[in-house]
Amino acid sequence: MERASPHAAPQRTAAAADRHFFGHPRGLSTLFFTEMWERFSFYGLRPLLVLFMSAALARGGYGFPREQAAAIVGIYSASVYLASLPGGWVADRLLGLRRSIWYGGCLISAGHISIALSAVAGRTPFFLGLVLIVLGTGLLKPNVSAIVGDLYPEGGARRDAGFSLFYMGINVGALLAPLVTGLLGERVGWHYGFGAAGLGMILGLIQYWLTSKWLGPLGLDITRDPDPVAQARFERRMKAGLSVGLGVLALVLVLGLSGVLRIDSLAVAHSMSYVIAGLATVYFLYLFTLAGLTRSEKKRVLAILVLFLFATIFWSAFEQAPTSLNLFSADFTDRFVFGWEMPALFLQSANSFFVIFFAPVFAALWGALGKRGKDISSPAKFSLGLLFASVGFAVMIVAAQRIQGGGAVKVSPWWLVGSYFFQTIGEMCLSPVGLSSMTKLAPRKFTGQMMGVWFMASALGNLIAGLVGGHVNPENPAEMPTLFIRTTLLLLGASVVLGLLVIPIRRMMSAPQPEE
């Protein structure tokens, strides 16, 4: 297979020399704002879902049990991560990165419009909208990041700085989204919040259409077989496979929404968890037994497996933000500020605020330690990430114990802010380090697949978070400390175990990569 782009190289060089956007190529601004608005739509919708679905019918919600509503959020979030895998493949082989981003944004916008229309058309457009957003995000999100990398063919520090700026765009969208959709959704009407999230994606599409010319030829080519006949045959098979897959998805959706097929979200979430865990197990067994890896490569893959397991534990706690912690904010937090009660979703912005503030701090910290020869190994950083996250949930144990009068006396929002602070410190220790570790440790011919494995850890963590995140009952606040104690102990235990394994894992990671 080869890329068909005869004039791309000199134009890529010209794009790399462009410094119109804070010293970076103008094309980065296109991708910055596209991703910012996409994340605005995602983080504006996701935390609103559990509040809406669990709200009583009299309040305009669906009246779902909280466990069911949280499980649906977990399934939705996990599916978004999993959709990135086929989305990247379709972009590489069929559509190209640029067209995939455009079609993905259109699907996301259509999904939000469908959800907003459910105010007058019932539940069918609501769930149809969630499916459309999953499909659209799978096409858009991984391919935006891929083009960011293509802007910097020279690599190096400028490329790292470009990704840092791009990462800032993600968190600006995530910071603003709950403020807008929370105010509209909780104060005006649920579907106004959903509509505002969709409007953000539409704005992102418009600016992408107007400014995509700044990307030059990047993302327009696809991977092709040099034999046109073989390429045509491959495209026919790929289109047939996609048609079958989408057809099955549509059939399940129609049968479920019509009531012919009864879908239990808790059962589906449990099943998806087992399927993802099973697929990961089979894949790692394949790598160890049939992939033809050398002894040193197997050691590095074993290190990836360990990091995968502990990353799953971290995300299963961290991704309770839109479920258990969001419900705690709605039910048990005193959100009055000078006589005005702020929406529960406002507190969802705390994580993004801390990320924007601390990301450059941690980048400088790791760099300074490296220059002094005191660099902290990846497993040690993972262990620290789990430890800080456990502190964040330990804060919630104290907060839950301070609730009095069956929830009549609520707690200060600073408890949640403090919890998000420690969780964010944990995220800074684990998330970017995990991405970097996947690329460093993966056998060269499996690098792309290892990134898929990292997405699987996030998907599995989101499912687990959805399954446990609905156990916040305003009628029984005495149960709350137990939920947070279990999460804290899981994180703390994982941190201690990984801390004890740091030295052997570090040895596995130091196994040399074979020469190509």
Specify whether 214 is located in the same domain as 233: no
Q: Distance of CA 222 to CAs 132, 240, 252, 264, 330, Å?
A: 24, 18, 32, 40, 47
**Stretch 345-350: mean pLDDT:** 95
Number of domains in the chain: 2
Specify whether 137 is located in the same domain as 162: yes
In a domain, 36, yes or no: yes
Q: Identify the pLDDT of residue 162.
A: 81
> What is the amino acid identity at position 398?
V
Grade residue 65 by pLDDT with cuts at 50, 70 and 90.
Answer: very high
Which range is most confident: 77-86, 93-102, 201-210? Answer: 201-210
Specify whether 33 is located in the same domain as 63: yes
Specify whether 158 is located in the same domain as 238: no
- Domain boundary pick from 223, 244, 275: 223
Grade residue 409 by pLDDT with cuts at 50, 70 and 90.
Answer: confident
169 and 6 Cβ atoms separated by less than 8 Å? no
Specify whether 207 is located in the same domain as 239: no
Question: Looking up tokens 């063919």, which residue turns up?
Answer: 153
Q: Identify the pLDDT of residue 406.
A: 65
Residues 498, 503, 505: CA angle, nearest 5 degrees:
65
**Stretch 249-264: mean pLDDT:** 86
- Residue 12 confidence (pLDDT) above 60: no
In a domain, 438, yes or no: no
- Residue 465 confidence (pLDDT) above 80: yes
Grade residue 7 by pLDDT with cuts at 50, 70 and 90.
Answer: very low
Specify whether 213 is located in the same domain as 254: no
CB under 8 Å to 309, separation ≥6 — which residues? none
Stated as kind and residue range, the H or E segment containing 224 is strand 223-224
- Residue 131 confidence (pLDDT) above 90: yes
Segments in 259-294 forming alpha helices (H): 265-289
In a domain, 288, yes or no: no
Residue whose C-alpha is closest to residue 127's, from 203, 52, 23, 38: 52
Q: Is 470 helix (H, G, I), strand (E, B) or coil?
A: coil
- Residue 112 confidence (pLDDT) above 50: yes
Supply 116's token pair: 């907003």
Q: Identify the pLDDT of residue 362.
A: 84
Q: Is 355 left (phi over 0), alpha (psi -120 to 50) or beta?
A: alpha
Q: What is the DSSP letter of 91?
A: I
**Stretch 111-123: mean pLDDT:** 89
- Kindly report the CATH number assigned to the domain that includes residue 97: 1.20.1250.20
**Stretch 488-501: mean pLDDT:** 96
Q: Identify the pLDDT of residue 58.
A: 74
pLDDT tens track for 269-293: 999 999 999 999 999 999 999 888 8
Determine the Cα–Cα distance for residues 62 and 66; give it in Å rounded to an integer.
11
Determine the Cα–Cα distance for residues 123 and 495; give it in Å rounded to an integer.
42
- Domain boundary pick from 167, 200, 223: 223
In a domain, 490, yes or no: no
Q: Identify the pLDDT of residue 1.
A: 40
Determine the Cα–Cα distance for residues 425 and 361; give it in Å rounded to an integer.
11
Grade residue 235 by pLDDT with cuts at 50, 70 and 90.
Answer: confident
Grade residue 260 by pLDDT with cuts at 50, 70 and 90.
Answer: confident
Specify whether 33 is located in the same domain as 81: yes
Grade residue 2 by pLDDT with cuts at 50, 70 and 90.
Answer: very low
Q: Distance of CA 112 to CAs 44, 79, 109, 137, 249, Å?
A: 11, 16, 5, 12, 19
**Stretch 97-120: mean pLDDT:** 93
In a domain, 129, yes or no: yes
Give the burial string for 415-449 (b: 16+ CB within 10 Å, else e): bbebbbbbbbbbbbbbbbbbeebbeebbbeebeee
- Residue 6 confidence (pLDDT) above 60: no
- Residue 514 confidence (pLDDT) above 70: no
Kindly state the greatest CA–CA separation across the chain: 74
In a domain, 60, yes or no: yes
Share of residues in the chain with pLDDT > 70 (%): 93
- Residue 488 confidence (pLDDT) above 70: yes
> What is the amino acid identity at position 207?
Q
- Residue 166 confidence (pLDDT) above 60: yes
- Domain boundary pick from 194, 223, 252: 223
Mean pLDDT of the chain: 88
In a domain, 432, yes or no: no
Specify whether 152 is located in the same domain as 185: yes
State which residues form the domain around 200: 15-223
